[in-house]
Amino acid sequence: MIAFRSLILALAVLTLLAACATTQAPAPVEDRSQAGHRSPVEEVRASAPEEAGGLQVFPLRNPAVDELIRGAEQAESVGDLDRAAVLLERAIRIEPRDPELLQNMAEIRLAQSDWEQAEAQASRSFDVGPRVGELCQRNWRTIALARERTGRHEDAHRARERLQACRVEPPPRF
Amino acid sequence: MLRRLIIFIFCFLLGLVLGLGGPWVWWLDREAGQRFAERQWTQNSRVFARPLELYNGRVISLDDLLVELDAAGIRPGHPGQVGRFSQRGQALDIHLPGFVFADGPQPAIRIGLGVVDGRVQGLARADSGNAGLVRVPPAELGALLPIDDSERTLVALADFPPLLVAGVQAVEDRSFKHHRGLDPRGLMRAAWTNFRHGQVVQGGSTITQQLVKNLFLSPDRSLVRKFNEAVMALSLERRYDKALILEAYLNEVYLGQDGPNAIHGFGRASEYYFGLPIQALAPEQIALLIGMVRGASWYHPVRNPERALSRRDRVLDMFLETGLIDAATHADSRGRSLDVNIQRQRRDQRYGAFLDLVARQLRQDYRERDLSGTGLRVHTTLSPSAQRRAERALTEGLVKVERQPGELQGAIILLEPASGEIRALVGDRQPDRRGFNRALDARRQVGSVIKPFVYLLALAQPDRFHLVSTLRDAPLSIPVAGSEPWQPRNYDGASHGDVALMEALARSLNQATVALGLEVGLTPLFRLLRQLGVEPGKDPHPSAFLGAIDLSPLQVAQLYQPLAAEGYNTALRAINQVTDAGGSELARYPMRIRPIRDREALALLDFALREAVTSGTAASLSWRLPADIGARGKTGTTNDRRDAWFVGYTRDWLGVVWTGRDDNAPAAISGSATALPIWAELFSGLPVSSGARPWPEGIDWYWIDWPSPLLASEDCAGARALPFIADSQPGLYSACMNAADPPSGNRRWWQR
């Protein structure tokens, strides 16, 4: 698939650049005080833009799944999580390796308090995804939350550490 | 005196009629109302394939698309009509019937598309032009466990073609809209016509009366029954509206026999006589079915074609008289032959092996009683086009390799590893034969197919093993309590000395594998198999390292699923969703995945299985496949060549092929010569997506002085770049390395 090939290319370039980077910028510390007021999904998504300063990778998407994603977002906005999951599953059947779709599914599972699936889907999204940038942060924030909710605090801590490494500074432009 | 007697008798009879008849009528009235309300047709549970998603860029061959349309009941014809399509070269014009999907209904729509270079292009809707994503309604695979002797496909009134709804009234009961259950004028008219013709050519019963007769009463002709019928007809009309009565009638009317089963309703009749959904019928076909209402056997289009044809034409005349069709349509329809296409064999036979699995998975969640008769709609994962390819690959493949015709049997399971959804299942070389389902029930020794799991256990201990660890392939004798010591031999009878771990797997060396197995242990192997969802039995003998374990093809598929799915385990599924007859969801079987802990080890194993395909026991794949589809796989051959296996996967598909004799006798077959060609034939026709498998984090690449476990550099002759779990790489340098040029170490993969 062309989309995937360009994703791989983007990845390769990125990882190369990452290897060139000598220092890693300090990532902002999680604001834990706010976390208590937000739902898990809000926490995963809301903090993302604050940290979106680093390098971002946006994989190309199959336009055929766009309407499914919009439908899922709409269903979620009116609280119909089951329907959102059904639509996302249909999209994933079409594009089984789209990291964005997998992460969206992870967040629906999070909202449904299905911690096990939230973690599994986010982990899969990370495996096939860019492993840097906002999506990577959403992946690891989801994993960390799911682990916290299931009482695996050490594993959750490791996930928070891995989250910091998602932030890669863009290469200087000349 | 006489007068008084007459008056007395008259009063007595009147009292008798009022006293007995009153309650009788009251009872009939109540009965009719109640029984109509409670009527619940037993309806077969219907099973559907997965719907085909169409969008621009979708990978599919034109052949497969045509197979999918055919399976979905969409036939060549004029696409102005629902359920028909036309083809010009690679361009298709398709009128898709409507369907109620799990996430909402899709109305009947007409679409155009082209298939260019194996991809869908220019997908557009005839009405709006825009079409991002369109589903072909799923093929109906058959019914589950029919328990009674009638067959029905319930259709809602609104879903019947208007010509059928109006036509039935025109022919059977012209004043249906106005009468109250009985139609005295119609009765008179019928009597007059019959009198004129000297025989019964027209019935006087209203549609309501016919329904009452079909639903509640015995078929004998007597005055009492006529009376009951009339009372109950009046009663139904008083209680229910016309639409409900007409809908019940259209679904109840008797239209013939399919073997021992009675065909009730136009929905099923359309499928039976024409192999088409009711919405797709042409006027002359509708006329034929309506004509059969008068006598399904008397006007049977196959047994009594002439009578059926003249009856049909008579019905077409009535359509014209009442203005339902115009003169041109009338002339055209009358000119057509009967054109019946009886689907005697219900589709259950065709997809029997898969339906078997569906029934078993359902039975885990439902009672038998709920499964049959209540009209469940089961949405499954089967792909009709993949199924067709799998059936053909097995049937034709066995013919090519067997010593005598019919000697060998086989089974195939094909699935999408990421979701665990089973797309094809073949349990017999004659796919439409019902009976022993080898894909599910044949438990056969798996042979070398088990080996990757021995190696996985080793690779999951990166402090002890990596892909170039040295294994010793030499004769060995293992004491077994209570029997002779076990002395495994290699397939070629020779021993190969020191070999690299990856090579031992790729070349499927027995002695090296047993040596490795003894290092990792039998108990951990059995524990791993159980963790992956397969019960290997209770008798841990070291021969299990070489696959002396009996498993079904389905179990083997379950074992390989996480390997093919890049480290995510999921239960294999044949069902996505179950709804009731009205489409409301009863159960959903969502995609649930579980990450395997040792995903790095799994990635190394994947690399080694790629080696088996490029230079090991499965190397013949490279010329058997038209292109490099990135296949990984493992052959398996058991003692005395009784069983031949090939398990292989790509990014999109996982396929298991087993062949052997049903009596388990030696069959002179082997994994690479018998099972692999069948797998290759199947996979060479499947749609492929390209792209590389992502490596997990924590894998580093090093140049190795292959096959020695020594670090080397790119410049060394014969050096190979291999993946290692971080910090598990060898510590020694090859002699080819110049001391002045130390290895750069930790080279990442793009630097290869």
| Chain A residues touching B132 at Cβ < 8 A | 63-64, 66-67
Q: What is the mean pLDDT of residues B717-725?
A: 94
Residues 6+ apart with CB under 8 A from A75: A81, A83, A84, A87
* pLDDT at A54 (0 to 100): 61
Q: What percent of chain B has pLDDT over 70?
A: 92
Residue A18: what pLDDT?
43
Minimal Cα distance from B567: which residue of A?
A124
| Catalytic option among B172, B247, B391, B503 | B172
Residues of chain B whose beta carbon is less than 8 angstroms from a beta carbon of chain A are 53, 55-58, 102-103, 132-133, 416, 418-419, 421, 566-568, 588, 590-595, 599, 689-692, 694, 696-697, 748, 750
* 8 Å CB contact of B55 and A127: no
Q: Does residue B414 have a pLDDT over 60?
A: yes
- Please give the Cα distance from A35 to B315 (Å, whole number): 74
Which residues of chain A have a CB within 8 Å of the CB of B113? none
| End-to-end alpha carbon distance in chain B | 128
* Nearest residue of chain B to residue A130 (CA atoms): B694
DSSP string, A26-71: PPPPP-HHHHTTS-HHHHHHHHHHHTTTS--------GGGHHHHHH
Cross-chain Cβ contact A120/B592 below 8 Å: yes
Residue A81 φ/ψ, nearest 5 degrees: -70, -35
Distance CA B327, CA B323 (A): 9
C-alpha distance from A49 to closest chain B C-alpha (Å): 25
Going A30 to A31 to A32 to A35, the CA torsion angle's sign is: negative
Sort out which chain B residues have CB atoms less than 8 A from A127's CB and list them.
566-567, 599, 694, 696
Inspect the interface and report whether the beta carbons of A120 and B566 lie closer than 8 Å. Answer: no
Q: What residues contact B486, with CB distance under 8 A and at least 6 apart?
A: B477, B478, B480, B541, B542, B543
Chain-chain contact of A8 with B133 (C-beta, under 8 angstroms): no
Sign (positive or negative) of CA dihedral B510, B515, B518, B523: negative
Q: Note the pLDDT of residue A20.
A: 41
- Residue B327: band (very low, low, confident or very high) from pLDDT cuts 50, 70, 90: very high
Residue A167 predicted with pLDDT over 80: yes
Is B672 among the residues known to form the active site?
no
Are the Cβ atoms of B691 and A4 closer than 8 angstroms?
A: yes
B540/B489 Cα distance (integer angstroms): 19
For residue A5, the model assigns a pLDDT of 47
Distance of residue A50 Cα from the nearest chain B Cα, in angstroms: 26
**Domain residue limits, chain B:** 50-138, 144-345, 394-683, 697-752
Residues of chain A with Cβ-Cβ distance to B121 below 8 Å are: none
Helices assigned H by DSSP within B217-351: 223-239, 242-252, 266-274, 283-292, 305-321, 327-334
- pLDDT recorded at residue B49: 96
Q: Which of A94, A97, A127 sits opposite B53 (nearest CB)?
A: A94
Q: Which helix (H) or strand (E) holds B550?
A: strand B550-551
Say how far apart CA B68 and CA B382 lie, in whole Å. Answer: 11
Q: What is the mean pLDDT of chain B?
A: 88
Distance CA B503, CA B506 (A): 5
| Interchain pair A117, B593: CB under 8 A | yes
Query: In this complex, do B691 and A127 lie within 8 Å of one another by their Cβ atoms?
Result: no
CA B180 – CA B241 distance, rounded (Å): 10
Per CATH, the architecture of A40-45+60-168 is what? Alpha Horseshoe (1.25)
Whether B448 is a known active-site residue: answer: yes
**Contact between B704 and B733 (Cβ < 8 Å):** no
Question: Do you know the residue count of chain B?
Answer: 752
Question: Please, what's the largest Cα pairwise distance for chain A?
Answer: 48
- Residues 6 or more apart in contact with residue A136 via CB below 8 angstroms: A126, A129, A130, A163, A166
- What residues of B are in contact with residue A90 (Cβ under 8 Å)? 53, 103
**CA angle (B675, B679, B683) in 5-degree steps:** 175
The band of A68, judged by pLDDT with boundaries at 50, 70 and 90, is very high
Give the chain B residue whose CA is nearest to the CA of A97. B418
Q: Which residue has the higher pLDDT, B730 or B275?
A: B730
CA distance B550 to B111: 50
Residues B104-141 have pLDDT tens digits of 888 899 999 999 999 999 999 988 877 789 999 999 88
**CATH code for the part of the protein at B394-683:** 3.40.710.10
Q: Please, what is the Cα angle at B365 between B362 and B368, to 5 degrees?
A: 70
> Parallel, antiparallel, or unpaired: how do β-strands B75-76 and B52-54 relate?
unpaired
Do the beta carbons of residue B203 and residue B209 sit within 8 Å? no
With bands split at pLDDT 50, 70 and 90, how would you rate the model's confidence at B367? low
The answer to whether A130 and A120 are in contact (CB under 8 A) is no
Helix (H) or strand (E) holding A128: helix A115-128
Say what the pLDDT of residue B201 is: 56
A96 chain-B contacts, CB cut-off 8 A: 416, 418-419
Cis amide linkage into residue B707, ω under 30° from 0: yes
Residue B192 has pLDDT above 90, yes or no: no
- Classify domain B50-138 by CATH number: 3.30.2060.10
Verify whether the Cβ–Cβ distance A1 to B567 is below 8 Å: no
| Each residue's pLDDT tens digit, A30-57 | 444 444 467 888 888 876 554 555 666 6
For residue B232, give the amino acid letter: M
Q: What is the DSSP letter of B434?
A: -
Query: Among A83-92, B216-225, B463-472, B712-721, where is mean pLDDT lowest?
Result: B216-225
Structural class in CATH, domain B144-345? mainly alpha
CB A116, CB A106: distance < 8 Å: no
Q: What is the pLDDT of residue A171?
A: 61
Question: Residue A72: closest CA among chain B residues belongs to which residue?
Answer: B103
**Is B591 within 8 Å of A92 when comparing Cβ atoms?**
yes
Residues of B in contact with A65 (CB under 8 A): 133
Partner-chain residue, chosen from A86, A119, A127, that has the shortest CB–CB distance to B103 = A86
For residue B567, the chain A residues in CB contact (below 8 A) are 127
The answer to whether the Cβ–Cβ distance between A64 and B599 falls below 8 Å is no
pLDDT, residue B458, reads: 98
Give the 3-state secondary structure of B23-63: HHHHHHHHHHHHHHHHCCCCECEEEECCCEEECCCCECCHH
What DSSP assignment string belongs to B278-306? Answer: GGG--HHHHHHHHHHTT-TTTT-TTTSHH
Inter-chain residue contact A15 with B592, CB threshold 8 Å:
no
Cα–Cα distances (Å) from A125 to A83, A93, B572, B601, B604, in that order, read 21, 14, 21, 19, 20
Q: Over the stretch B13-41, which tens digit does the pLDDT of each residue have? A: 777 777 777 888 888 888 888 877 766 55
Q: Give the model confidence (pLDDT) of B570-610 as tens digits.
A: 999 999 999 887 777 888 899 999 999 899 999 999 999 99
Phi/psi for B723 (5° steps) reads -85, 145
Residues in chain A: 174
Distance CA B684, CA B622 (A): 11
Identify the pLDDT of residue A37: 62
Tokens found for residue B198: 């000297």
Question: Which amino acid would we find at residue B117?
Answer: D
Predicted pLDDT at A29: 42
